[in-house]
Chains A and B, each alone.
Chain A
Amino acid sequence: MNKASLLSAFMILLRRDLTLAFRRRAEVINPLLFFVLVTALFPLGIGADPNQLRAIGPGIIWVAALLAALLSLETIFRSDFEDGSLEQIMLSPHPLSVLTLAKVCAHWLVTGLPLLITAPLLGLLLDLSGDAIITLMKTLALGTPALSTIGAIGVALTVGMRRGGMILSLLVLPLYVPILMFGAGAVSAAAAGLPIHAHLSLLAALLVLSISLAPAATAASLRISLS
């Protein structure tokens, strides 16, 4: 039996997770529906004045995206934990942190990317300008992968618990605060015609930092949860 290289192990795991997600399409669509519904609730709750909606739109869309990402987080490890394949993955000779990164990538492709594609529609619902919508997509493209990588730590810590969902949100949401601030801040700045380079650079920095550090913490947490 020949040993697979790290890259091919990464790709195999990625393809496997994508296939699994494709066969369980409802799980992929639910967070997306949640994202749209939550955003649509705000105009109903606070009134449909376009000026007001334009002012708070960026924040609403970002908070809704954050909650949708949070809801879908559990799927990263949950089903693999339940059927035991997570333990098999941990037995592989490859570094666990890289393998968790593959799972996080797959998770982002099936949950983060759809959010990114739907966001312009929601922007139109809340009467955002064209510039603001383009910025919204840029910030979501930089922000949602960071949400997934950081969230994976929380999922890894709570995967063994029967009702980990509530605790997961308590663990993860405080860590999401900077991403939310810069993401929504950039869109607001773009809507006001201000420069957004600083926001985008900081978001990119957060993304790089989380991709480089979070997988190690995720791997360590998985080892503890499954020990």
Chain B
Amino acid sequence: MMRFFHQLASPKYFYRFAGRLIPWLGVLCLGFMLVGLYQGLWVAPTDYQQGDSYRIMFIHVPAAWMSMFVYMVMAGAGAIGLIWHIKLAEIMAISSAHIGASFTFLALITGSIWGKPMWGAWWVWDARLTSELILLFLYLGVIALYNAVEDKRTAARATSILALVGVVNIPIIHYSVEWWNTLHQGPTVTKFDTPSIDLRMLIPLLLMAVAFKLFYAVVVLMRARVEILQRERNSQWVLDLGDST
């Protein structure tokens, strides 16, 4: 078992392993997403207050969850890379950054579309919107730093530190913004004992959340494979790869 993990940490094995994993995860992701969307758009009942426009939630909420989850993964992978000098962890961290930024952007856009009929404005300086916006800036900072440093090894280590600093700051930012101003509807799913949400709405929401997680897994593996090829482009196994095709 340990041997498997040791092998996996080497870029060469990871490249092959990820290549085999991607199609399976992709099919699974597509399945969850289709079922989730069907459930969400046709089966789930209309909200008594918000009408049909609440259905954007099935994109918005998973995207918002993912925006934070991916940041945690990025910082965690960055910490592993910094502490144990595992190249693969650095690659995973930096591959996550763009995807996380996209999820954050998606959450902001869908939230804005949802907010227009509900609050009457495209944008309000509400607590969670603001902290999501700052999260987007944190992601963009990570990406900008990575692009600015010439040597990619150094760049990955520098961005890992920045991601860790960001992780310490995210709860601080979150709560400071919360105390500053809030208007957003309270969380409806985290209260596990009595969720204040209809089961027929909850199921598609969770399905979509799983679909988004799988989507992230597929894309991050793809990006990591590209990153590995770029970094190892002078090593023998990559050259062999080019010869065989």
Contact = CB atoms under 8 A, between A and B. Distances in A.
Interface of A: 153, 157-158, 160-161, 164, 167, 170-171, 173-175, 177-178, 181-182, 185, 202, 206, 209, 213-214, 217, 220-221, 224-225, 227
Closest 10 CB pairs of A and B: A178-B176, A174-B137, A171-B141, A170-B141, A224-B157, A181-B180, A174-B134, A157-B158, A174-B138, A181-B176
Interface string B138-156: 1011001100110000100
B148 A161 contact: yes
Nearest to A169: B141
Interface of B: 82, 134, 137-138, 140-141, 144-145, 148-149, 154, 157-158, 161-162, 164-166, 168-169, 172-173, 176-177, 180
B78 to A, nearest CB: 12
A213 B164 CA distance: 11
A171 B154 contact: no
B172 A206 contact: yes
A161 B149 contact: yes
Nearest to B168: A213
B161 A217 contact: yes
Contacts of A157: 145, 158, 161-162
Given A175-B165, A221-B158, A224-B158, 19 more contacts: A157-B158, A158-B145, A164-B148, A167-B145, A170-B137, A170-B144, A175-B166, A177-B134, A177-B173, A178-B172, A178-B173, A181-B177, A182-B176, A185-B180, A206-B172, A213-B168, A214-B165, A220-B82, A221-B161
Contacts of A224: 154, 157-158, 161
A181 B161 CA distance: 25
9 contacts: A164-B148, A167-B145, A171-B141, A175-B166, A213-B168, A217-B161, A220-B82, A224-B154, A224-B157
A170 B148 CA distance: 12
Contacts of A209: 172
Nearest to B130: A177
B140 to A, nearest CB: 6
Contacts of B169: 174-175, 178
Contacts of B134: 174, 177
Contacts of B161: 153, 157, 217, 220-221, 224
B176 A177 contact: yes
A167 B144 contact: yes
Nearest to A164: B148
A153 B176 CA distance: 21
Contacts of A173: 137
A164 B63 CA distance: 32
A187 to B, nearest CB: 14
Nearest to B155: A224
